[in-house]
């Protein structure tokens, strides 16, 4: 059997930047085991499989796999898949706006897609779950050892390591400077002690210093236990990160937008737009947005 696929770069407007994503269409003839093998073959941080929706009013059902296992939700497959389906539906003329409704394992995700001729599609979705604290991470000295840093490089201002989830759970590690975050790496023996089994997806490192003045945070994400040594852009982590920002930066009521830059150390610059709405002192809505550009298409033999 042959299945059509597309490869997109997500959270970027330029090809060969951002986070690459494979999207396999018409995947109803595949079971989970074959999807996992295909994801391992593509060897990208995630591969999305598009199936017929269970409810006719929705656009599609989507399953997502890392090279190691299936995940219930991820940001860049949501953005990339929605942008692709909207562009295919619009045809060569392009243009206009579209609402793509995806049935994901985590639940129903509604994605608004903006199509403009000559520019990469832009997609934005409401996080299917609001961020929630998900336990206590390892002490800062153990996290520092796991990330090849020294304890004094962990934390800045009032930010300290936390564990949050919004569909996927991450350990969030504030790092003191751009230089320090650039030196971070997975130190395998220490990682196994501090993080293996304690970070269902991985560790999201962030600092206030940025490469671009238009960004608010610089980030890196390591997930070796998910088959992803480092991720160029992590939308589901950005959704959970809203809880971290609200907690430590004490956001007042209103709408707040933060730009997260990621992937620079990998040579794949990415830009994630995080929008948070705070009502009565609590997060009411979290939205993740970014561009996606098609890079390749073909058919895969199974």
Domain boundaries, the chain: 2-126+291-301, 132-289
* Residue 228 β-bridge partners: 223
What pLDDT sits at residue 199? 62
Q: Is 14 a catalytic residue?
A: no
Is 251 a residue whose pLDDT tops 70? yes
- pLDDT of residue 84 exceeding 90, the answer is yes
How many residues are listed for the chain in this entry? 302
CATH number of 132-289: 3.10.310.10
Q: Is pLDDT above 80 for 86?
A: yes
Residue 193's pLDDT band (cuts 50, 70, 90): confident
Q: Which CATH architecture has domain 2-126+291-301?
A: Roll (3.10)
Cα 222 to Cα 185, 186, 263: the distances in Å are: 8, 7, 11
Contact in structure between 131 and 240 (CB atoms under 8 Å): yes
Over residues 28-73, the pLDDT tens digits come to 999 999 999 999 999 999 999 999 999 999 999 999 999 999 999 9
**Residue 70: CB partners within 8 Å, gap ≥ 6?**
32, 35, 36, 63, 64, 105
Query: Does residue 94 carry a pLDDT above 80?
Result: no
Which one is predicted more confidently, 195 or 232?
232
If you average pLDDT over residues 175-194, what whole number do you get?
A: 95
pLDDT band at 226 (very low <50, low <70, confident <90, very high): confident
How confident is the model at residue 19, as a pLDDT? 98
- Predicted confidence at residue 201, as pLDDT, reads 82
Are 229 and 186 a contacting pair, CB within 8 Å?
A: yes
Decide whether 2-126+291-301 matches 132-289 in CATH topology: yes
- Is the distance from CB of 141 to CB of 44 less than 8 angstroms? no
Marked catalytic residue, from 13, 41, 46, 104: 46
Quickly state the pLDDT bin for 118 (edges 50, 70, 90). Answer: confident
Q: In Å, how far from its chain's centre is CA 169?
A: 12
**What's the pLDDT tens digit per position in 137-150?**
999 999 999 999 99
Comparing C-alpha atoms, which of 269, 283, 200, 282 is closest to residue 239?
283
- Stated pTM of the model: 0.96
């Amino acid at each position: 059997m042959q299945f059509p696929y597309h490869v997109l770069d997500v959270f970027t407007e330029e090809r060969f930047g951002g986070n690459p994503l494979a999207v396999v269409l018409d995947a109803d003839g595949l079971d989970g085991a074959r999807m996992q093998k295909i994801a391992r073959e593509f060897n990208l941080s995630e591969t999305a499989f598009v199936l017929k929706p269970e409810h006719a009013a929705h656009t599609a059902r989507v399953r997502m796999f890392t090279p190691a296992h299936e995940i219930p939700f991820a940001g860049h497959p949501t953005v990339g898949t929605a942008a692709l389906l909207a562009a295919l539906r619009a045809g060569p003329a392009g243009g206009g706006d579209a609402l793509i409704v995806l049935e994901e394992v985590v639940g129903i995700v509604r994605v608004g897609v903006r199509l403009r001729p000559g520019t990469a599609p832009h997609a934005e979705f409401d996080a299917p779950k609001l961020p929630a604290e998900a336990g206590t991470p390892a002490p800062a000295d153990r996290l520092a050892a796991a990330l090849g840093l020294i304890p004094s490089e962990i934390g800045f201002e009032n930010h300290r390591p936390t564990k949050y989830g919004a569909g996927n759970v991450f350990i969030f590690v504030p790092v003191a400077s751009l230089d320090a975050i650039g030196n971070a790496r997975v130190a395998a023996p220490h990682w196994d002690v501090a993080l293996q089994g304690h970070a269902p997806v991985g560790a999201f490192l962030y600092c206030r210093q940025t490469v671009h003045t238009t960004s608010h945070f610089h980030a890196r994400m390591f997930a070796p236990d998910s088959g992803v040594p480092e991720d160029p852009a992590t939308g589901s982590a950005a959704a959970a990160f809203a809880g971290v920002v609200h907690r430590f930066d004490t956001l007042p009521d209103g709408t707040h937008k933060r730009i997260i830059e990621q992937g620079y150390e990998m040579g794949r610059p990415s830009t994630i737009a995080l929008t948070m709405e705070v009502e009565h002192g609590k997060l009411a809505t979290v939205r993740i947005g970014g561009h996606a550009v098609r890079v390749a298409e073909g058919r895969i033999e199974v």
